[in-house]
Amino acid sequence: MRTLRVIGLVFVLLLPVAVFTQNADDAAKEKQRRREMVIDQIVTDLPNLTLGENRAMVSTRLGNLLWQTDEKRARAMFQTAISELVEAQTQAESRQTPNSNQNELATSGNTRPQILQVIANRDAEWALDLLAITRPAAIVKALAAAPPKADKISNSNNFLYLAQNERAMEQSFIRMAADQNPEKALKLIKDALAKDISNETLNLLKKLHQKEPESAKAIGSRIADKLIGGDFTQAGQPDHQKIQIAIGFISDTVAERGSGDKTFHFEISQMRSLADKVISFYLNQSGQVYLNYSIITIAEKLSPGSVETLKKLSTAMSGRNGFSFNPELQKLMNGSVTAEQMLAAAGKFTGFERNQIYQQAVNKLAQEGNMARATAVIKETYSEDAYDEAMRNLNGQNANRLMNEGKFADAELILDEMPEQGRLSALLNLANTAYNRDQVENKTYAMAVMQKARLLLSESPENNAEMSNLNQYLNTLANIDPPEAFRVFERMIPKLNELADAAAILYPFQGNGNVRRGEFVLSQGYSFGNFGADFSVINVLARKDFDQASKVVDQISRREMRIWIRLQLADVAGQ
Amino acid sequence: MLRFAAVSTIIAVTSLSSFAQVAPPPPLRVNTTAAKVDPQKVAERLAKQITLAEQVLTEVPGLRLGENRAHVYAKVGAMLWKSDQKTAKDLFQRAVNDMLNAQMAAESDEKNRQNGNDLRVSIAIRPVVLTPIGGFDAEFALESLYRTRTPAIQRALLQVSETVDGKVGDSGGNSSVVAQNEFMLEQRLIRMAAEQNPERAAKLLQESIKKGLSSETLSLLKKLYETDPESADSLAAETMDKLLGSTFSTNPTDQKAISLTQTILNDSLRVRKPGAKELTFADSSLRSLANKIINYAISAGQNIRMSGIGIPALIKFAEKYSPAMVAALKKLEKANMPPGTAGIVPDSDSRKLMESSMPASQLVAEAKKLPAESRAPVYQNAAMKMARTGDYNAALDLINANFSGRALENAINQLNWAYADYLIGQGKYQEAEKLIDDFPIANRVSALINLAQKAFAKNADENRTYSMSVLQKVRSMLPNRPSDNSELIQFTQLTSAYAPIEPAEAFNTFEPVIPMLNELVDANAIVQAFQSTSSVRSGEFVLSNGGFNFGFFMDPGLFRNLAKADFERTTKLIDNFARREMRINLKLQLAETGLN
């Protein structure tokens, strides 16, 4: 009997664990079901995409999604992507029309780097092999091109840039391969460093230094010598990439390091020589090359004698509205200076700089809660439109402060007085802050604020700004009232469909590379025409009701848009 | 006369719909003094203009935007001024009224503030309405300028002339630009008023110049010089002092001084008729001014790109007034060449040789003395000269000896084009055609069209069949419908080429393209309106914003060529465009410049 009681007790105690495990299993199964459902939908739709490069992009994203659960299928997807990419590139190369907008494919502009980068994140050694297999003819030619002959004109600059980009990509994959496969790392890195200098060189040296500090030092020294002995121009034009790399090396070397830091850095004597070379280059160009302002910080450490001259050069290179990089201004703006100290110092600066200082001082005063002084400063320093704008900003800050203190009604009173333009985002911020502070107690209040915000919006957005406003509203609403958010989102879709269709007709005619053969090019970004729409809200909605979100996506009429958004859903489904 | 009455009726009807306060105009009268040159041609042209004016005025009430109606009324008024001043004046009045209403609506539309911004600050609309009016009735245009000054412009003018105790009045920095534009427009209208009313000219001009500087100041001084040289010289000296004492920077407020400096220095380089009495500035002052702008440009370095100063012009100033600075400016020019253009775009050294009349052999010899990166355009130029005189082999040798890779391909393509042109000039059409057949596809269409046009121009009767066959070949190379702007341009070129040879074929080529253009322009209206550009408002393209920004390039010369061949059918063709503002715009263009 006692035994039975013990068994009964154990059973009762283990029951919640079993239920929990059961629930967790169910949730995992549900996630898996959703993920598979979305992936199946994408795979079914995929062959119907017009552009091979789009099929390649989608296959890559699918491969990436599948990698952790089914590596074999993921590799097959990557392989499909590569086949589609090569085919699309070959077609682009064979097209003769000058304005076919295919150049990006023929010169490895976007699609190829994006695809290879995703594959490299999973298997960089394979990506390195694919890098060679997928190389378009223009890149092969650029890599093979001999340096331009001095006695002939070849217009080879474009070739040089193509080759530089390709080598940088290769070095980046080698670094990734070394991370993924430590055994082979040393050989890979040494081989890469022997080839050329790129933005990746410093990372590779650091990686090598972890295994073989002496080798890293020796190779680093050779590379530094190469830069010191080289030239910062190419065919008479500044070689911005090389200048950038040199500044990167020096900045890294002179950066503050902890006392126990043993990571790679170049020899300081070499970096001093390199800094002198870069500084001389800038000074010889007399401001005719854009100044990388890091050189002033570098000069302060390695070549103090040049600092004043560089500062003068920086001031002379004043841009539009009198703007220039002024290290004194940066010190004042970034340092631990009080608002009153800033105001006292403002008189020494130019009009444009003074305006920046006043704005920052007013912000500081507002953050400290000293609204009376902030208002007084605005009255003293601004007039007309600028006064109105400054007061709007100040009121916005004041309202934010009150929101953070939980004084929602007080904040709302200020927002009610704001001009319509800035009021919407402020109200949404208020609703969000209140709701996040206490989702039960403040839900009714947050919903009321959302109602007020809704009154500021158009029923149907007529321009980018209105669409963007509606999206802001939707992003907040998705959190507070998902059913209403679904309704609002669904009402937006016909307009988005109309706009995307119009853009798909117009863009290719105008030579805009975002659309080819009537289809948006997926590697060109996520804009579908840049109409102020932000489809990331579908992620928030999917977390609330996945199946409904999936149905909403079905209403998007363009296949490539649907597929691209479903890829987002597949990401969410797995979370 | 019936037609003029029709115009008046249309105007009367539109007046009821838009501006009842303007009385209906009397019938149009023909200005008979204009008929001195070639009475029949002038009468024909006038009749066509009136036809187009009638058609346009019938459409105007259907335009949704007041600013569009204002733009069209001003243009039609300017067109009719010489034949019927009374109607023109009435249309000018309507234009101003419509513009005022549009501005007031924009001022009160807080919601679409950004969208109506150009109406509030007069970026585009007031100049395009008031300038054509000013061309004929500048006093009225000036009066309207003051009447239509929006509060935003008035604020901008106040901020510029009265700095409010050093306070920041406009953190965006737009006020000075708005004020400058306004001031420039005012000076332009005053110059026009002086031209139209010589009695008041001196007073108007003196007042205007004393108000301040703008890029119009030199024109005003020159105009004043015609009636009062002494005052003009004295004001010119004052202007020079102001320029020499002003600050040059990329700040928008300094742009008018920089712009006027360039205008004055450019004008000083102009070759003058010997003995002609003209406004002149002292040489020493011009030298100081040249040094001032050159020093500024050199200190600005790469930011020179943002200052609106052209380095080639500066080099010319330096060559005359400050030779010691030429080398520094040449260095600046090289540093400012966009990446990848060195050796392609000529610099000042290569440009100087290319602008000379040296024979090809001398050009080659001189090119060798230039730095390597400056030689390419000169070699190319010399090779083209050789090809144009028939010495193709020597030209090819020169190119092969000095170019490689893609530069070589481009150079040979250009050379072949020049040689084909030479063969065409020699009447060796078949030989030229054979050469063109090997051109890259992008050049082939234009080259064949050029061949057909030139053969026909040489002897219309003898070469008609040949030209037609070449154009048929071009047609077979084009797709059924253009799929991008480049192909649309090729269709347009082909249509223009057909027009004088076989008008029916021209219309048959272009008519089927119009439905596609209608689809495109509608798509563009949706996209532009949504992207909040000022190109489309209330679903209608804003005509003052370039007018032809319909989403594709439409060469106005096309309708000019078609109208020469068949005016009636051209107007009907234009009527096939679905959007009213497009029909109006094309007809206005045709009436203004397409009937000569």
- Give the ipTM of the model, two decimals please: 0.75
pLDDT in tens, B491-518: 999 999 999 999 999 999 999 999 999 9
Query: What's the confidence (pLDDT) of residue A158?
Result: 64
Question: Quick check: B330 contacting A, CB < 8 Å?
Answer: no
Nearest to B335 among A148, A288, A499 (CB): A288
What pLDDT score does B547 carry?
A: 54
Phi, psi of B532, rounded to the nearest 5 degrees:
60, 30
Structure tokens at A200: 């990746």
Among B115, B171, B251, the residue with its CB nearest the CB of A389 is B171
Model confidence at A328, pLDDT cuts 50, 70, 90, reads: confident
- Residue that has been written with the tokens 């609403």 in this structure: A477
Crossing angle of helices B372-388 and B360-367, rounded to 10°: 170
Among B176, B337, B530, which would you mutate to test the A interface (most chain A Cβ atoms within 10 Å of its Cβ)? B530
Residue B540 φ then ψ, to 5°: -125, 140
Q: Which residue has the higher pLDDT, A155 or B371?
A: B371
Looking at residue A369, what is its pLDDT? 82
Coil, helix or strand at residue B242:
helix
Picking from A380, A385, A505, the nearest residue to B519 by CB comes out as A505
DSSP per residue, B174-223? -HHHHHHHHHHHHHHHHHHHHHH-HHHHHHHHHHHHHH---TTHHHHHHH
Contact B299 A316 (CB under 8 A): yes
Dist. CA A471–CA A457, nearest whole Å: 10
Chain A residues touching B336 at Cβ < 8 A: 288
Closest CA to B175 of B193, B192, B155, B195: B155
A530: which chain B residues are within 8 Å (Cβ-Cβ)?
A: 531
The number of CA neighbours under 13 Å toward the Cβ of A139 is 24
| Residue B226 binned pLDDT confidence (cut-offs 50, 70, 90) | confident
Distance CA B445, CA B472 (A): 11
CB contact under 8 Å between B336 and A288, yes or no, is yes
Which of 198-257 (B) contact A at CB < 8 A? Answer: 249-252
pTM of the predicted protein model? 0.77
Read off the DSSP letter of residue A523. Answer: G
Q: Report, as an integer, the average pLDDT of A191-211.
A: 84
Using the CB atoms, write b or e for A329-355: b if 16+ within 10 Å.
Answer: beebbeeebebeebbebbeebbebbbb
Q: Is B529 at the interface with chain A, CB within 8 A?
A: yes
Tell me whether residues B486 and A99 touch, CB distance under 8 A: yes
- Would you call A420 and B402 a contact, using CB atoms and an 8 Å cutoff? no
Nearest neighbour of B344 by CB, restricted to A96, A155, A316:
A155
Q: Identify the sign of the CA torsion A522, A526, A531, A536.
A: positive
Q: Residue A315's pLDDT is what? A: 67
Whether A4 shows a pLDDT value over 70: the answer reads: no
Please tell me the distance from the alpha carbon of residue A158 to that of residue A139, in angstroms, as a whole number.
10
Least trusted range by pLDDT, from A277-291, B82-96, B211-225: A277-291
A130-176 pLDDT tens trace: 999 999 998 998 888 766 555 666 665 566 778 888 988 998 999 89
Which of A250-264, A492-506, B239-253, B345-359 is most confident?
A492-506
pLDDT of residue B21: 36
Question: What is residue B291's predicted lDDT score, i.e. its pLDDT?
Answer: 93
**Who among B168, B376, B531 is closest to A381 (CB)?**
B168
Interface of B with A in 86-115 (CB under 8 A): 110-111, 113-115
- pLDDT value, residue A552: 93
Best residue in B154, B171, B488 for a mutation probing chain A (most A CBs within 10 Å): B171
Q: How far is B406 from chain A (nearest CA, A)?
A: 6
- A508 → chain B, closest CA residue: B484
Pairing outcome for strands A233-234 and B540-541: unpaired
pLDDT at B338: 67
Residue of B nearest to A160 (CA): B340
Q: Does B551 touch chain A (CB under 8 A)?
A: yes
Are the Cβ atoms of A317 and B404 closer than 8 angstroms?
Answer: no
Read out DSSP for A239-279? -HHHHHHHHHHHHHHHS---TT-------HHHHHHHHHHHH
For residue B328, what is the nearest residue in chain A, using CA coordinates? A286
Q: Nearest CA to A184 among A240, A224, A125?
A: A125
Which residue of chain B is at minimal alpha-carbon distance from A458? B111
Confidence at B404, pLDDT banded by 50, 70, 90 = confident
Among B55, B57, B98, B62, residue whose Cα is nearest residue B77 = B57
Q: Is B531's CB within 8 Å of A531's CB?
A: yes
Considering CB atoms only, which of A153, A287, A511 is closest to B301?
A: A287
Residue B546 has a pLDDT of 61
- Comparison of pLDDT for A502 and A186, the residue scoring more: A502
From B174's Cα to the closest Cα of chain A, the distance in A is 10
Q: Do B301 and A355 touch (CB under 8 A)?
A: no
Q: Per-residue confidence at B450, pLDDT binned at 50, 70, 90?
A: very high
pLDDT of residue B266: 93
Helix A482-509 vs helix B514-530: crossing angle, to nearest 10: 140
Kindly determine whether residue A322 and residue B249, on different chains, have CB atoms separated by under 8 Å. Answer: yes
